[in-house]
Amino acid sequence: MRDRELREHRHRGRSVVTALALAAMVMFPVMAGAQGTPHTSCEADEGHPCCVIRIPVDLPGGEIISFAEIGRTFPEWEGVERGDGDYQAGLSSNTVLEGTVAIAGGNDDVQTGPHVSFEDTPFGHDTHDFCFKVLPDDSYRYLLGEKVTKSGGATCSVNAAETCTPECPLEPPPDGFCPAPCIVNSNGDCVDLGAGGACLVCPSDCEELSDGRCTKTPGGASCNNLSCEALQGMADCASTVTTQDDVEVEWEVGVGADNDSNPCHSANESGNSCGYFSQGHTRRELIWQWPTAGDHVHVEGFWIFDRGHAPASTEIHPPRLVAIQRQLPSMFGPSVSTSNFVVATKTDVFASGDGNALNNNRSGAPSFVRRVPMGEKDYTFKITHNVPPPGPTARLNAAFVLHDGDTFPANPLISQDSETLPNGSVHFLPSMTVTIPWNSQAAPDTAVFARTFYVWWSTGDNTADLTVNHGVQADYHPRIFKVTPDYVLMDPGANDMLEPGTGQGDMELRVFVEVAGNWLFLNELASDDVGNILEDGLGDADDHTEDGVVIDRRGGGLNPWQFTLVLPPGGKFRIHTDGWEADGINEVFGNLIDPNVACDCSFQDQFNNLFGLGTYLSGGRDDPIGEVNHLFSCENADAELGSTHATFVREQAGGGIWSDDITGDTVNQNGVYQFQFNIQELAWHGTSGTVLPGGPCDTFPPDITINQPTATQYVHSATLTLDYSAVDVGGAGLKDLGALMDNAATLAGHGLASGQKIRLLTEMRLGPHTFTVNADDYLGNAGSKSVTFEIIVTPESIKIDVIQFVADGSIDPLSENSLLQKLINAAKSRSKGNCASASFIYGAFINEVQAQSGKNIDPAAAQILIEDAQYLMTHCLTKAVNTQITLGGRRN
């Protein structure tokens, strides 16, 4: 393609725009992470007093009552920066976060890695949330909140009485007792003459108030982690402050809801998305826009306190944009092939104002829903291609693919990053800046941006790039794995554990499978006769279900789902499952309550309508079923795959014991299901040939070769041509190669690249010098090699000094003969061993040079000639140096 040319292609049925030779394109500034002061958790409760309500469940055997500190659930999410103009206008304000997605510590760590949550509140959600935790880059660490707790981790608290105490019905007094003003009439009945009729009194287990009302005895609950002002006034609360480890990001998934009152139920029951973080997804397709462990993300969205779990943490909840630079490179090419591709950095980008049930731009949304002003700005992020280029002339290329659901009306702006060097030249960097022009193109707030970007190196020879070098350095050797998810197998007794009690029926499972960022909703893979994927198949399963088989039924076939992964040296990838079993709370999702409603009796009635008898009898909260978090890397792949480099793995899900705070039922997440998959390592075929499966981790520094200079003596009149190289022997690829001369990276205003010519006479002084080459690979393995050489003068080389200075204009030709004659005479005396005579003549030479300095001889050249002559005067007896001297790269 020509420079600055944009050409449209077809790629897997979607439009692809490829931008070549991007060096000439317009540059765009990159948004920097703003610095700020960390916020403390007690700020979350400012302006939100504790509110305690009772949650009754009326059963035939009596009433079950619990008291909840509902004050932190409404609002469950509070803006961190409440002075922000968007926030004050009832909009979702925007904050930028960049960092790396956290990695779970194993199957029992069900809180750290990316997963679909099972424990969301139905009055603020249509569907469950997708959650991932981000370890912020340095510029974004100010987003980490500071948690105020007691020593040992407990929260400071006070007890508060319930807000709205129910009234008690009056009843007749006990037999034999007739309290005033009631009297016993002639029939022996206790009657109220004033009100007429039978005497009714406040029951003994209730309280009669001064206004005559009879109410139940007020209950109470512990209010934790109060406002900053309240904490300061509590003498018994010696608090400590700890900083969060990460920032959680939560965006509603848009799948998995089936209760009739839910606006998502129709689409979800068919296996399709209703929007949110899966907009455009249809049954049996991959969910492409969710990150995995180890990915680097650029997130923009609503920075809030999560008040639902004291002490409050700061989160981005919900985001409006997530740009995921995948940890694993991708095979990108004109067809799906493991032989016809370039190794590309893949970045999945999803942006939408459809954040969650309480933050969106949907028509007909309740008035308390915050709108998301997507069009208030353009969105900018970087893509860095951390792969070594196939050669020094390789150019960085980019392309993007549109996904179903994309409605954004314009193309993004893509430009290669650059830096200006001290000498004024422009150096292009291995990274791109992408700008989504939401504001500048006046795109509507309701638009959706759903695209995947690919960035790769090209030599300009497409055939070689696709079939030979694959867009990488010859010494770059990734490992290739093929992963085939097999099935989810329920453990014996799982049904009884998840659906306890008589007549509870089968499990209503929701199961997600992920391979290195490729997400499948397993319920959707059921056969065609399953029309409602949430109430049939896995949605109506027992311990012996066969609906957990991972089959690709797209296009009417019955094929395995297979994923070919490119594992860079030092990389890792995750194989994962998670999900839940839907219970009573599933039936009330999407019944929204104003998060800023007053905590009064009307609110209590509304709240209890959601958590009544039906929720309790239907199992309470959705039950977690545990997770599989299996990591593969160079550290464990060989041991797990064995000598055949292929194996089946059956992994027991984990997560420990979980208890339902509504019903008290428990789930042992280590006994719900197992997940089986096959993993096979393939050979890598590249420029350097075939690299067979297996091999140790790359802990080796690059191998450095220095051909020039060598450890020898060079005459001052010589020209030295630097000649050095390095190759990475461990497979990560050579990243940086540079040199130092006497610990300096430049010499006489130029660099020290291999091939650089150095005129020793004018650029370097006499004496010993050290030349050092440093190299490191893409894993940070660093190597260094040095050579020490010496610059000297001989009777012949000083003559060449004069000839060179005449040639470059530093000496007037009229002075040449006189100077050379003195040097010839001195050399004759020196050759006879007459050092005194030679020194006398060299002294005369120096006198003449000094006399002509600034006249017929350039002062800088004069100083060099004087120093060279003085060297010969002091080294007259060292005659051996005349026999093995390197002159212009040859030995004389």
* Structure confidence by residue, pLDDT tens digits, 305-347: 999 988 999 999 999 999 999 999 999 998 777 789 999 999 9
CA dihedral for 493, 499, 505, 508, sign (positive or negative): negative
Instruction: Report DSSP state, residue 670.
Output: G
In the prediction, which pLDDT does 891 show?
Answer: 36
CA distances from 739 to 415, 716, 723, 773 (A): 30, 21, 11, 4
Question: Smallest Cα–Cα separation from 553: which of 520, 530, 525?
Answer: 525
Answer whether 650's CB lies under 8 Å from 609's CB.
Answer: no
Residue 744 phi, psi dihedral angles, 5° rounding: -115, 140
In the prediction, which pLDDT does 890 show?
Answer: 36
Answer whether 321's CB lies under 8 Å from 379's CB.
Answer: yes
Chain position carrying tokens 């009772």:
54
State yes or no: cis peptide before 437, omega within 30 of 0: no
Give the helix, strand, coil percentages of the chain, each rounded to 5: 20, 35, 45
Answer whether 778's CB lies under 8 Å from 568's CB.
Answer: yes
Answer whether 490's CB lies under 8 Å from 435's CB.
Answer: no
CA distances from 746 to 490, 741, 783 (A): 66, 7, 20
Residue 859 phi, psi dihedral angles, 5° rounding: -55, -40
pTM score of the predicted model = 0.84
Residue 682 phi, psi dihedral angles, 5° rounding: -110, 165
* DSSP per-residue letters across 223-258: EES--HHHHHT-TT--EEEEE-S-EEEEEE-S----
Q: What is the largest CA-CA distance in the chain?
A: 158
Question: Smallest Cα–Cα separation from 252: which of 400, 359, 362, 384?
Answer: 359
In the prediction, which pLDDT does 328 show?
Answer: 98
Contacts with 454 (C-beta within 8 Å, 6 or more apart), sequence order = 330, 332, 344, 345, 346, 347, 398, 399, 400, 401
Write out the two tokens for 509.
């499972």
Residue 763 DSSP SS3: helix
Residue 87 to residue 93: CA distance in whole angstroms: 5
In the prediction, which pLDDT does 34 show?
Answer: 43
In the prediction, which pLDDT does 35 show?
Answer: 55
Write out the two tokens for 747.
């010499």
* DSSP per-residue letters across 22-46: GGGSPP-PPPPPPP-PPPBGGGGGT
Chain centroid to Cα 472, Å, comes to: 24
In the prediction, which pLDDT does 511 show?
Answer: 98
Among left, alpha and beta (phi > 0; psi -120 to 50; other), residue 717 is: alpha
Answer whether 420's CB lies under 8 Å from 451's CB.
Answer: no
Question: Smallest Cα–Cα separation from 117: which of 624, 660, 514?
Answer: 624
In the prediction, which pLDDT does 225 show?
Answer: 85
Write out the two tokens for 198.
């039978």
What pairs with residue 381 in β-bridges? 434
Answer whether 694's CB lies under 8 Å from 645's CB.
Answer: yes
* Each residue's pLDDT tens digit, 712-759: 999 999 999 999 999 988 888 889 999 999 999 999 999 999 999 999
Residue 574 to residue 135: CA distance in whole angstroms: 17
What pairs with residue 244 in β-bridges? none
Q: How many CB atoms are closer than 10 A to CB 409?
A: 12
Contacts with 677 (C-beta within 8 Å, 6 or more apart), sequence order = 483, 484, 485, 486, 515, 575, 648, 649, 651
Could you tell me the CATH superfamily of domain 703-792? Immunoglobulins (2.60.40.10)
Question: Smallest Cα–Cα separation from 344: which of 390, 379, 298, 380?
Answer: 390
Question: Smallest Cα–Cα separation from 541: which of 625, 665, 667?
Answer: 625
Q: Write b or e for each residue in 364-398: b if 16 or more Cβ atoms lie within 10 A of its Cβ, otherwise e.
A: ebeeebbbbbbbeebbbbbbebebbbbeeebbbbb
Amino acid at 80: V
Q: Quick one: which H or E segment has residue 616?
A: helix 613-617
Residue 28 to residue 517: CA distance in whole angstroms: 29
Q: How many CB atoms are closer than 10 A to CB 312?
A: 27
Number of H helices, E strands in the chain: 13, 51
Q: Where are the beta strands (DSSP E) in 722-857?
A: 723-727, 734-741, 757-759, 767-777, 782-792
Residue 279 DSSP SS3: coil
Chain centroid to Cα 666, Å, comes to: 34
* DSSP per-residue letters across 283-351: TTS-B-S---TT-EEEEEEEEEEETTSSSPEEEEEEEEEEEEE-SS-EEESSSS-SSS-EEEEEEEEEE
Chain centroid to Cα 36, Å, comes to: 21
Residue 225 to residue 231: CA distance in whole angstroms: 8
Residue 360 to residue 90: CA distance in whole angstroms: 12
Residue 454 to residue 291: CA distance in whole angstroms: 16
In the prediction, which pLDDT does 66 show?
Answer: 85
Amino acid at 586: N
Burial (Cβ within 10 Å: 0-12, 13-18, ≥19) of residue 644: exposed
Write out the two tokens for 724.
């050095």
* Each residue's pLDDT tens digit, 522-561: 999 999 999 999 999 999 999 889 899 999 999 888 999 9
In the prediction, which pLDDT does 878 show?
Answer: 45
Question: Smallest Cα–Cα separation from 27: which of 395, 432, 346?
Answer: 432
Angle between helices 795-807 and 816-831 (to 10 degrees): 170
Residue 646 to residue 637: CA distance in whole angstroms: 10
Chain position carrying tokens 């009631």:
182
Residue 183 to residue 549: CA distance in whole angstroms: 77
Q: How many CB atoms are closer than 10 A to CB 248?
A: 19
Question: Smallest Cα–Cα separation from 488: which of 525, 456, 532?
Answer: 525
In the prediction, which pLDDT does 33 show?
Answer: 34
Pairing state between β 129-136 and 509-515: unpaired
Residue 373 to residue 21: CA distance in whole angstroms: 35
Residue 636 phi, psi dihedral angles, 5° rounding: -130, -10
Q: How confident is the chain (892 residues) per 10-residue block, as mean pLDDT?
A: 28 35 28 61 92 83 83 93 95 98 96 96 96 97 92 85 91 90 90 87 90 90 88 81 95 97 97 98 98 98 95 97 98 85 98 98 97 99 96 94 98 96 87 98 99 97 95 93 98 93 83 99 96 96 92 92 95 97 92 92 87 74 96 94 96 96 90 98 93 88 96 97 93 92 96 97 98 94 97 97 97 96 95 94 96 96 97 76 39 35
Q: Where are the beta strands (DSSP E) in 73-113?
A: 77-79, 95-101
Q: How many CB atoms are closer than 10 A to CB 519?
A: 22
Pairing state between β 247-252 and 313-325: parallel
Domain ranges of the chain: 703-792, 796-891
Stated length of the chain: 892
